[in-house]
Amino acid sequence: MTPDALQAGREALQQGRFQEAIQLLEAYLAQSRQRGEAGASDSQALEAQMNLVRAYHQLGETEKARALCLELLQHPDPQARGWAQKILPRLPQTVEKPAASPPSPEPAPEAQPLSSRQRAGQLGLKIPLPERAGPLRWAKWGSLGVGILFLWWLSFVLVGAHLDFGRLSFPRQLWFLQGLLPWLRNGLRWLVAGSLAVNFGVGLLFFAPWLMDHLHRRLHKLRWATLGEIERHSPETARLLQRLCAQKQLKLPRLGVIPEGGPLAFVYGTLPDGGRIVVTQALLQQLAPDEIAAVYAQALGRILNGDILILTLLGSPVQLVYLALEQVSQLANKRRDLIGHVAPLLYLIYTVLSYPLFFLCRLGTYHADHFAVEATGNPNGLMAALLKAAAGLQEAHKNDRRPSSLLHCTRLFSFLDFKTTAAASAASRLRDPAQAGQVFLWDQLNPWARWMQVNSSHPLLGHRFQVLAGYAQRLRLLPELSLGSGPKLDGARLQSRFWLDLAIYAAEVSGMVIGWLLGLILYLALPDRLDPKVIAATAVVGYGLGLGSKAVLMYRGSLSPQPTDVLHLLADPEADPCRSQPVELEGELVGLGQAGYQLGAELKLQDATGLMPLRFTSPLGPVGNVFSGLKRLRALMGQRVKVVGWFRRGNTAWVDLAYVQAGSQQLHSRPRLWLALFGLGVVLFGVWGAFSFPNLRFYLRR
């Protein structure tokens, strides 16, 4: 029996073919024992035994699973003994044997996977950073430099450019310097703007933490806690903070607690001795003590590494935009008039201003995770904390009627991105770590993951779990999740398909570039017959044709949906945002915002395996989405419905709805129609503009 049998058994286990997995693994172990390879040094035989326990458990053969666990209790490897001690209490002696079936989800998001929780015997062990982390110093100084230049330019536009230095002149004796006067006047304007920028930046250095404190006290009822209060939930956390702060000669960060919301932790501050670490009460209640310690270590790592200091300095002015957004939202709920339609504009401004900080936040997260693992020796604790927190956030906010201000205004400062937690919600419901790890294969293997991560403030959870599992292996620990051992994928086929799909996904941009080039060629070939405006007109027409082609290619063929569930969709490593998969799901409709509030919370469907975001396009188009208030759809909230649409996967997964059905009532969505109509409108606008705009030849040749 070759090692290929072990790989085949592992794949059969991950795909739910438990009887086949048992046969392959038993045969492999029998051959190993005959050759005398099942000793303490044979890691492959040990892996086969552990997978065999999982297969027995999933198939209901609990007595066999217990017997094999008892054998592992006598194994020379201490990690194997620890794993068996952890699993054995969860295998009752008498269990009714069910039929073979795929891994069934557990209803509670706090369900623990079948895995060990071990940690390094010695703290402070040095572990090399992964290549994807990159140098943090250049990212910090680069972000700070870009922020300073932007502030300098903004000060010049708002103030410096309007200063009048017309009276400034040289004495007659210096007549030869008169030509330098325009340069000198502009230099003084930029100097004044720079002075204003420096003063504003110094003010932010001291004002930003106070602003953040005020924001969270007003919106989220932030209160300050003592170290003793945190110690009651996790004694290890108190010891950890005291030890690390003493080693780094750092003042103990200010500790805060927010009573509401799901399990979340975030950190901010502009000086190392003035950092704040804030957690929700749910995090202290739902996480184990060692997991809480890992979260605090990760937050302290962001303070010591310095990235959170830059993010607070640059991100605190953006919080003023979010504060205005909250005020407008509250007015919209009371007045029910057009004031509610200002909220999407403010949210767009807030998102655009936050986007440039995403790169530093992602890079800082890798370094903070690395610091937490070295400080605690417990990568599995941080992995479990991320999984529980992500699932808990999904569960806590699934019925929100408006976006959670806590999640949005702490996105840059939190220890995870709430927009990428759908997969974790499904994975946390699985009993076995092998199946749970398979949910994150898309993050690790799909070529789209690297591109779509640009839209995320933090690394994708699959990437973080993969890095943490690598740390665990370097510390000779069994990872909390079984990652990187999923089904074999054709990487070359995925990569070649990716470039074609990317061209379709960005068809409007490609069409605009091709149209611009075509217009330029026509104008250069026929300069006496064509006006220069043909260049702009063909670019607009190309943009519209690109949108129309997306409507055809992204919703290709007839809609023939296949019944499925959220878990199987999220576990598909080949899904992408371009090639749609017609699906049919059944579950409860949750999460749509209130009437009159036009930035409502995301519409979702919940079934027994997880939550799936839904995107609805009214038959009346964007006007119907905004002004009708989606009243018919809101009437279905909390009801069990069937949804049919096109499944897509980016940094988060979603379904473009075709229709929602509740009983005999059917509510249609028209994403393909309105994408095509919008493209046609842009084409007609470009054609009209080519004949109606003023002649641009004079302006282009001035």
Q: Which residue has the higher pLDDT, 220 or 168?
A: 220
Q: Which residue has the higher pLDDT, 393 or 14?
A: 393
- How high is the pLDDT of residue 490? 64
The pair of structure tokens assigned to 268 is 């901010």
Nearest alpha-carbon partner for 555 in 670, 677, 680: 670
- Of the listed ranges 104-108, 195-199, 324-328, the least confidently predicted one is 104-108
The amino acid sitting at 140 is: K
- How high is the pLDDT of residue 488? 60
Q: Is 598 exposed, middle or buried (0-12, 13-18, 19+ CB in 10 A)?
A: buried
The amino acid sitting at 237 is: T
The pair of structure tokens assigned to 548 is 């129309």
- The partner residues of 279 in beta bridges, in order of sequence, read 257, 265
- Distance of alpha carbon 587 from alpha carbon 32, whole angstroms: 47
What H or E segment, with its residue span, contains residue 507? helix 507-525
Instruction: Characterise 221 by phi-psi region: left (phi > 0), alpha (psi -120 to 50), beta (else).
Output: left
416-455 burial by CB neighbour count: b if 16+ within 10 A, else e?
bbbbbbbbbbbbbbbbbbbbbbbbbbbbbbbbbbeebbee
Q: Could you tell me the CA-to-CA distances from 300 to 223, 412, 613 in Å, in that order? A: 19, 15, 33
292 pLDDT band (50/70/90 cuts)? very high
Segment 149-155 shows an average pLDDT of: 88
DSSP 8-state assignment for residue 89: G
Nearest alpha-carbon partner for 428 in 465, 457, 456, 453: 465
Segment 55-79 shows an average pLDDT of: 79
Mean pLDDT highest for which of 127-141, 304-318, 396-410? Answer: 304-318
Q: Is the pLDDT of residue 39 over 70?
A: no
114 pLDDT band (50/70/90 cuts)? very low
Nearest alpha-carbon partner for 478 in 28, 54, 8: 54
Contact criterion met (CB below 8 Å) for 223 and 279: no
Q: Is the pLDDT of residue 483 over 60?
A: yes
Segment 476-500 shows an average pLDDT of: 72
Q: Is the pLDDT of residue 151 over 80?
A: yes
3-class secondary structure, 237? helix
254-258/276-280 β-pairing:
parallel
3-class secondary structure, 585? strand
Nearest alpha-carbon partner for 661 in 681, 646, 639, 643: 643
Structure-token match 């390879």, residue found: 37
- Distance of alpha carbon 26 from alpha carbon 20, whole angstroms: 10
- How high is the pLDDT of residue 348? 81
Q: Is the pLDDT of residue 389 over 70?
A: yes
Q: Is the pLDDT of residue 453 over 60?
A: yes
Q: Is the pLDDT of residue 385 over 90?
A: yes
Contact criterion met (CB below 8 Å) for 525 and 518: no
Segment 516-539 shows an average pLDDT of: 83
Q: Is the pLDDT of residue 576 over 70?
A: yes
- Distance of alpha carbon 340 from alpha carbon 347, whole angstroms: 12
What H or E segment, with its residue span, contains residue 695? none
- The partner residues of 587 in beta bridges, in order of sequence, read 641
* Structural domains for the chain: 3-90 (1.25.40), 222-311+355-474 (no CATH), 491-553+692-700 (no CATH), 562-669 (2.40.50.140)
- Distance of alpha carbon 438 from alpha carbon 484, whole angstroms: 8
Structure-token match 């699985």, residue found: 430
The pair of structure tokens assigned to 690 is 């080519």
Q: Is the pLDDT of residue 116 over 80?
A: no
The pair of structure tokens assigned to 143 is 């972000």
Q: Which residue has the higher pLDDT, 266 or 499?
A: 266
Contact criterion met (CB below 8 Å) for 279 and 393: no
Q: How many CA atoms lie within 13 A of 281 on its CB side?
A: 9
Q: Could you tell me the CA-to-CA distances from 578 to 452, 614, 672, 679 in Å, in that order? A: 12, 16, 13, 17
- How high is the pLDDT of residue 592? 61
Indicate the average pLDDT of the chain: 80
DSSP 8-state assignment for residue 260: S
Contact criterion met (CB below 8 Å) for 549 and 424: no
Strands laid side by side in the 276-280 sheet: 223-225, 254-258, 276-280, 265-268
- Distance of alpha carbon 512 from alpha carbon 505, whole angstroms: 13
- How high is the pLDDT of residue 599? 43
- How high is the pLDDT of residue 609? 84
- Distance of alpha carbon 692 from alpha carbon 686, whole angstroms: 10
- How high is the pLDDT of residue 41? 40
The pair of structure tokens assigned to 626 is 């905004």
- The partner residues of 255 in beta bridges, in order of sequence, read 225, 277
- Distance of alpha carbon 284 from alpha carbon 289, whole angstroms: 8
Q: Is the pLDDT of residue 74 over 80?
A: no
- How high is the pLDDT of residue 459? 92
Q: Is the pLDDT of residue 22 over 90?
A: no
- Distance of alpha carbon 300 from alpha carbon 243, whole angstroms: 12
What H or E segment, with its residue span, contains residue 562? strand 562-563
Nearest alpha-carbon partner for 315 in 361, 368, 380, 374: 361
Nearest alpha-carbon partner for 509 in 544, 534, 551: 544
Q: Which residue has the higher pLDDT, 135 or 263?
A: 263
3-class secondary structure, 684? helix
- Distance of alpha carbon 4 from alpha carbon 23, whole angstroms: 14
Segment 641-667 shows an average pLDDT of: 88
- Distance of alpha carbon 113 from alpha carbon 292, whole angstroms: 18
Instruction: Characterise 484 by phi-psi region: left (phi > 0), alpha (psi -120 to 50), beta (else).
Output: left
- The share of the chain scoring above pLDDT 90, in percent, equals 18
- How high is the pLDDT of residue 524? 86
In sequence order, what are the residues at sequence separation of 6 or more whose Cβ sits closer than 8 angstroms to the Cβ of residue 13? Answer: 21, 51, 54, 55, 58, 432, 434
The amino acid sitting at 351 is: T
Q: Which residue has the higher pLDDT, 225 or 54?
A: 225
Q: Which residue has the higher pLDDT, 575 or 601?
A: 575
Segment 102-118 shows an average pLDDT of: 42
- Distance of alpha carbon 61 from alpha carbon 54, whole angstroms: 10
Nearest alpha-carbon partner for 431 in 72, 104, 161, 196: 104
The pair of structure tokens assigned to 630 is 């989606």
Residue pLDDT, tens place only, 238-276: 999 999 998 888 899 999 999 987 899 999 998 888 899
Contact criterion met (CB below 8 Å) for 587 and 381: no
pTM, full prediction: 0.74
- Distance of alpha carbon 294 from alpha carbon 302, whole angstroms: 13
- Distance of alpha carbon 627 from alpha carbon 336, whole angstroms: 11
- The partner residues of 257 in beta bridges, in order of sequence, read 223, 279
- Range list of β-strands (E), 207-358: 223-225, 254-258, 265-268, 276-280
Residue pLDDT, tens place only, 302-361: 999 989 999 998 888 888 888 887 777 767 666 555 555 677 777 788 888 888 899 999
4-36 burial by CB neighbour count: b if 16+ within 10 A, else e?
ebbebbbbbbbbebbebbbbbbeebbeebeeee
- Of the listed ranges 167-181, 318-332, 629-643, the least confidently predicted one is 167-181
- How high is the pLDDT of residue 295? 95
Q: Could you tell me the CA-to-CA distances from 75 to 39, 72, 88, 473 in Å, in that order? A: 9, 5, 14, 19
- Distance of alpha carbon 330 from alpha carbon 340, whole angstroms: 9
